[in-house]
Amino acid sequence: MNSNVPEKGRPFEEILKELENFGKDDPKYKEAKTWSLVYYLNEEYTQFLNDAYSKYFSANGLNPTAFKSLKRLEKEVLRFTADLFHVDYEACGVMTSCGTESCMLAVKTYRDLGRSKGIKKPEMIIPETAHVAWDKGAEYFGVKIRRAPLDENWQVDVKTVEKMINKNTVMILGSAPEYPHGIIDPIEKLGKLAVAHKVPLHVDSCVGGYILPFMEMAGIDVPVWDFRVEGVTSISADIHKYGFAAKGASCILYRNIDYFRHQVFANQDWPGGVFASPAFLGTRPGGAYAAAWAAIQANGIEGYVSLAKKTIEVSNLLKEEICKIGCFEIIGKPIVSLLAFRSIDKDVNIFAVGDVMEEKGWHIDRLQMPDALHAMVTAPHEKVIEAFITDLKDAVQTVREHPELAEEGQAATYGMISHIPLRGMVRKQVIDIFAESYKLNATEIDLSDSSAVAPGGGDSEAGKKSLVDKIIAWYVKKKS
């Protein structure tokens, strides 16, 4: 045995301590230093979710007739969501494990609905800014993507969408909002197209679904984006984002069963018994349903409204302060709590700023096309805005004084990857390197080390060189 499993089992306490230690270098989300990935309120609330999760830890939603408790929890979560999205209980839906699963299920559903109408070469029209889960769904389910460009407001260009609709179109998509820049597509206009051309319209509200309704209740101006728009046939929304549930909780709701039935899988001939399943997962974790239900009960409408209000105040302050620095601009006019900012000063490389901020302990995502930094804001970020802006000003100063930073670290990696013209080749390289990193003898992917050997060494290809080295080497070879 090469793995480090002990011959004899170890005491629980010792194992738990070691587990905790594994996370010592993880992003510092409890201090609100991460601007993506985690939706965290406080320790007491997290412990409460933990308790709720544990009560159904072993329960399995695979067979809805066995654990009636889970079916009830799921239904109550979905009814609450239906109320939020203004659809009656003719609506149909399921809880899923994540936004990606919800989006991919919609692709499968509309492909099969299309097939039932005789469409053999299904196509879907999605905005350029649609979440990558849609590309994944298209690839998995053999649906061709037609990518609609954006207009000057960074919203999908509805006129082009209309031109793209043809006899093979099985669905069109709008986001509320899209992840990269936090912009809401013009759902009402898309709804008109959907009705006129009789095509299904899905609204991807994975990130916005549990904040937009509460913003509206708080009196904030929000365009209509949900089932009130005629033509919207389904919506995906993640309770594990602004619903502040435990991870593993999203949902998809369809206006009625005529759509949803195409999502359901059944096999009547399996020797294990007649089998039916409403989503991708086989075993479905009961804990995630229980924690989602508990999160909704604990926050209540009032709690969510006050969180939404605070979140938008914090986002607005953040946008203002970023713009005041003078060398950045916010991309588009996001009204929700996600935003992207880019440099408008040629001496301030945005990715180098990202690297300096990371050294200061901030976890911040990089965007491409255009190059930018990203922030997903939550209410607890209120306590760090001042520190963040101070560090951001410092970072700008450092980058101005050290232009070489643009050619080092992650700035070099992101700068290069986002500007290499042969996108198909970049994709191939990324797949190779990513797959390598899953070899059991690989070291982790290192996005910042531009030295020849990644820390920790390792026997595999991925362990020998950092990502930046490999792509640079490949690109230089390609060009020469």
Contact residues toward ligand PLP (CB under 6 A) are 98-100, 103, 131, 133, 175, 178-179, 204, 206-207, 238, 250
Is the omega angle on the peptide bond into residue 177 within 30 degrees of 0, that is, cis? yes
Q: How far is the CB of 208 from ligand PLP (least distance, A)?
A: 7
Residue 449 beta carbon to ligand PLP: minimum distance, rounded to whole angstroms: 27
Q: 67 or 179: whose CB is closer to ligand PLP? A: 179
Q: In whole angstroms, how close is the CB of 362 to ligand PLP at the nearest point?
A: 19
Min separation Cβ 92 and ligand PLP, Å: 20
Smaller CB separation from ligand PLP, 37 or 435: 37
Q: With both helix axes pointing from N to C terminus, report the angle between 350-359 and 409-419 in degrees, rounded to the nearest 10.
A: 150
Distances from the Cα of 36 to the Cα of 182, 196, 217, 343, 397, angstroms: 13, 38, 25, 20, 25
Question: Please, which residue, 193 or 207, has the CB nearer to ligand PLP?
Answer: 207
Please state the closest distance from residue 418 (CB atom) to ligand PLP, in A.
Answer: 19
Q: Measure Cα distances from 220 to 50, 211, 306, 398, 402 in Å.
A: 32, 11, 12, 38, 42
In one-letter notation, the amino acid at residue 48 is: F
Residue 297 C-beta: closest distance to ligand PLP, Å: 22
- H-run or E-run covering 425: helix 423-437
Tokens of residue 415, six digits: 């700068």
CB closer to ligand PLP, 96 vs 450: 96
What distance in Å separates the CA atoms of residue 275 and residue 262, rounded to the nearest whole number?
Answer: 16
Smallest distance from ligand PLP to CB 104, Å: 9
Nearer to ligand PLP, 133 or 211 (CB): 133
The strand pair at 169-175 and 201-204 is best described as parallel
* Nearest distance, CB of residue 280 and ligand PLP, angstroms: 12
Rg (CA), the chain: 23
Which is closer to ligand PLP, CB of 119 or CB of 211?
Answer: 211
Q: Which is nearer to ligand PLP, 133 or 165 (CB)?
A: 133
Question: 238 by DSSP, 3-state: which?
Answer: strand
User: Using an 8 Å Cβ cutoff, are 334 and 182 in contact?
Assistant: yes
- By 3-state DSSP, what share of the chain in percent is helix, strand and coil, each rounded to 5? 45, 15, 40
- Write the Ramachandran bin of 154: left for phi over 0, alpha for psi from -120 to 50, otherwise beta: left
Q: How far is the CB of 258 from ligand PLP (least distance, A)?
A: 24
Residue 344, token pair as written in the block: 């408008």
First to last CA, the chain: 46
CB of 134 to ligand PLP, least distance (A): 8
Locate 162 and state its tokens.
């209309």
Residue placing its CB nearer to ligand PLP in the complex, 55 or 363: 363
The residues that bridge with 373 in the sheet, in sequence order, are 341, 366
Paired tokens of 263: 């999502």
Of 255 and 374, which has the nearer Cβ to ligand PLP? 374
Question: Which residues lie below 8 Å from residue 442, measured CB to CB, with a gap of 6+?
Answer: 436, 458, 460, 461, 462, 463
Least Å from the CB of residue 20 to ligand PLP: 25
Of 180 and 354, nearer to ligand PLP (C-beta) is: 180
* In contact, 150 and 159? CB cutoff 8 Å: no
Which residue number places its CB atom closest to ligand PLP? 99
Q: In this structure, how many other beta carbons lie within 10 angstroms of the beta carbon of residue 260?
A: 22
Of 67 and 214, nearer to ligand PLP (C-beta) is 214
